[in-house]
């Protein structure tokens, strides 16, 4: 993997670059659609490519459980298995192990309202108050499958082995993603574990990569605490990673500071991926603060719920007024949905529970987000990032 910075945004951390992988280039900043189970939900690879996706992210946790990483390896790797010949990223499985596995039955989301009392119960305790994440050892994590309740044990070495079997272009070190509701002492312990696992991930990767050609990113954690975030960035910087992920279950108001603290420390010449974030306002924030890659399920998940992005904010196509609306979802949008269908037709498909509804809405939302990041990229090249940001957010956030 090779990363080249083409232009920097003045007086801040933002930059435009190009990542080159064995499966093609990614022009950064870039939004990475999520294909959790080796499929960007409701889309063929050609549809994803045609709407502008240059890279996708698949989830290690899900693919390890089903169909299994060894099966994917036998199939010739993820690219061949899922017919996607452009770059692929896999995450480490860490986030899902904690949100779907260990915290079985509870949801940990990437953006958390820490004022929500239900989240003030640390996820390391189960409903009875008994320690739940006691199953985290220094060596790894045992967790229950969200599919069938079976018990699995993942170590950093195992995560890297799984990811090498899957065969993405960029993979991640195994980490522990804590809730922002955890106390400082727990955050500190968890961070030490994440750093220890980072080193072990790197060692395992170096062994396996003698015959492979995969880039490994380390993940910065540390929650909302400035000291821990900076400590984490400094530690990871000292290791020979090809790039970095910025992890965490963020309270929205903490995200910007955490990203800035980290990116002021991380080496400029290596790419940075803000994990699991993708709302328009967060994309501007991240890019301004030096983020190169974003992934998020929001565009496709919102699409399947009938929530569509427009430059004036999201609309819900199930609203009765759209039944008779023969305009495009978004005027002047060049996506396949807007070029060929009306709001009335999309509303009809949703009311009729037609599968095509999910496909068309996903195409629009991914096009909107990917294209927004491309426009932001161009605005940096054209020296008008701040004007574009102001203009876009004025329309988008007013609703």
Helices (H), 352-384: 355-381
Structure token pair of residue 164: 């090498």
What does the alpha-carbon distance between residue 113 and residue 249 come to, in Å, rounded to a whole number? 10
Nearer to its own copies, 126 or 325 (CB): 325
Q: How far apart are the first and last CA of the chain?
A: 41
Confirm or reject binding of residue 44 to its own copies (CB under 8 A).
yes
Question: What pairs with residue 57 in β-bridges?
Answer: 34, 89
CB 220 within 8 A of CB 257: no
Structure token pair of residue 327: 């305009």
Q: Where are the beta strands (DSSP E) in 34-178?
A: 56-58, 88-90, 141-144, 151-154, 170-172
The helices-and-strands tally (H runs, E runs) of the chain is 15, 15
Q: What Rg do the C-alpha atoms of the chain give, in angstroms?
A: 21
Taking each helix axis from N to C end, the angle separating 385-397 and 355-381, rounded to the nearest 10 degrees, works out to 150
Binding region for its own copies (CB under 8 A) out of 91-99, 109-117, 285-293, 350-358: 350-358
- Interface characters, 130-169, with its own copies (x: CB under 8 A): ----------------------------------------
Nearer to its own copies, 59 or 232 (CB): 59
Nearer to its own copies, 323 or 334 (CB): 323
- Interface characters, 315-344, with its own copies (x: CB under 8 A): --------xx-x---------x---xxx-x
What is the nearest approach in angstroms of its own copies to the Cβ of residue 353?
A: 9
What is the nearest approach in angstroms of its own copies to the Cβ of residue 334?
A: 16
Confirm or reject binding of residue 4 to its own copies (CB under 8 A).
no
Structure token pair of residue 159: 């995560």
Closest CA to 285 of 385, 172, 155: 385
Binding region for its own copies (CB under 8 A) out of 31-39, 121-129, 192-200, 310-318: 31-39
Q: Which of 347, 361, 373, 376 binds its own copies (CB under 8 A)?
A: 347
Question: Residue 157 CB: number of other CB atoms within 10 A?
Answer: 19
Nearer to its own copies, 130 or 339 (CB): 339
Q: Which of 345, 367, 392, 396 binds its own copies (CB under 8 A)?
A: 345
Q: Which of 42, 108, 287, 366 binds its own copies (CB under 8 A)?
A: 42
Binding region for its own copies (CB under 8 A) out of 35-43, 164-172, 277-285, 289-297: 35-43
Structure token pair of residue 320: 């009765």
Q: Which of 116, 268, 281, 354 binds its own copies (CB under 8 A)?
A: 354
Nearer to its own copies, 83 or 238 (CB): 83
Structure token pair of residue 16: 């435009």
Total residues at the site for its own copies (CB under 8 A)? 37
The answer to whether the peptide bond before residue 34 is cis (omega within 30 degrees of 0) is: no
Residue with tokens 């390391």: 124
Nearer to its own copies, 42 or 170 (CB): 42
Confirm or reject binding of residue 349 to its own copies (CB under 8 A).
yes
- 3 known member of a binding site: no
The Cα-based distances of 150 to 48, 69, 95, 104, 144 in angstroms read 33, 17, 18, 11, 5
Sheet containing 30-33: order of strands: 30-33, 293-296, 272-274, 243-246, 215-220, 170-172, 88-90, 56-58
Nearer to its own copies, 252 or 351 (CB): 351
Q: Which residues, 355 to 394, sit near its own copies by CB under 8 A?
A: 355-356, 358-360
Q: Which residues, 68 to 97, sit near its own copies by CB under 8 A?
A: 71, 74-76, 81-83
Residues 6+ apart with CB under 8 A from 225: 184, 187
| Residue stretches of the annotated binding site for substrate | 91-95, 175, 221, 248
Provide the annotated binding site for Zn(2+). 333, 335, 338, 364
Which residues are part of a known binding site? 91-95, 175, 221, 248, 333, 335, 338, 364
**Positions in the binding site for its own copies (CB under 8 A):** 37-39, 41-44, 62, 66-67, 71, 74-76, 81-83, 323-324, 326, 336, 340-342, 344-345, 347-349, 351-352, 354-356, 358-360
């Amino acid at each position: 993997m090779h990363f080249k910075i083409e232009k920097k945004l003045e007086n801040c951390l933002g930059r435009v670059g190009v990542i080159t992988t064995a499966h093609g280039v990614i022009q950064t900043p870039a939004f990475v659609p999520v294909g959790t189970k080796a499929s960007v939900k409701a889309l063929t690879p050609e549809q994803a490519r045609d709407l502008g996706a240059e890279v996708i992210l698949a989830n290690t946790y899900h693919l390890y459980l089903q169909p299994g990483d060894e099966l994917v390896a036998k199939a010739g790797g993820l690219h061949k298995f899922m017919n996607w010949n452009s770059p692929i990223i896999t995450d480490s499985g860490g986030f899902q192990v904690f949100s779907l596995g260990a915290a079985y039955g509870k949801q940990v989301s990437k953006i958390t309202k820490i004022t929500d009392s239900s989240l003030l119960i640390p996820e390391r305790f189960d409903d009875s108050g008994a320690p739940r994440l006691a199953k985290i050892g220094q060596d790894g994590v045992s967790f229950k499958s969200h599919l069938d309740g079976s018990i699995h044990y993942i170590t950093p070495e195992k995560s890297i082995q799984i990811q090498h079997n899957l065969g993405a272009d960029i993979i991640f070190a195994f980490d522990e993603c804590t809730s922002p509701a955890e106390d400082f002492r727990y955050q500190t312990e968890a961070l030490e574990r994440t750093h220890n696992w980072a080193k072990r991930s790197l060692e395992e990767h170096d062994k396996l990569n003698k015959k492979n050609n995969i880039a490994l990113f380390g993940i910065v954690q540390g929650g909302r605490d400035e000291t821990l975030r900076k400590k984490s960035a400094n530690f990871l910087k000292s290791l020979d990673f090809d790039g970095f992920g910025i992890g965490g279950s963020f309270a929205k108001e903490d995200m910007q500071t955490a990203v800035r603290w980290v990116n002021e420390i991380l080496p400029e010449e290596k790419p940075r991926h803000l994990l699991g974030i993708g709302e328009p306002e967060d994309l501007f924030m991240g890019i301004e603060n030096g983020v190169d890659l974003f992934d998020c399920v929001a565009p496709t998940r919102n699409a399947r719920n009938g929530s569509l992005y427009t430059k004036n904010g999201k609309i819900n196509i199930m609203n009765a007024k759209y039944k008779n609306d023969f305009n495009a979802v978004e005027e002047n949008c060049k996506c396949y949905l807007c070029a060929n269908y009306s709001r009335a037709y999309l509303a009809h498909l949703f009311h009729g529970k037609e599968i095509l509804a999910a496909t068309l809405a996903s195409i629009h939302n991914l096009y909107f987000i990917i294209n927004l990041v491309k426009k932001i990229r161009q605005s940096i090249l054209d020296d008008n990032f701040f004007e574009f940001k102001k203009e876009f957010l004025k329309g988008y956030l007013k609703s």
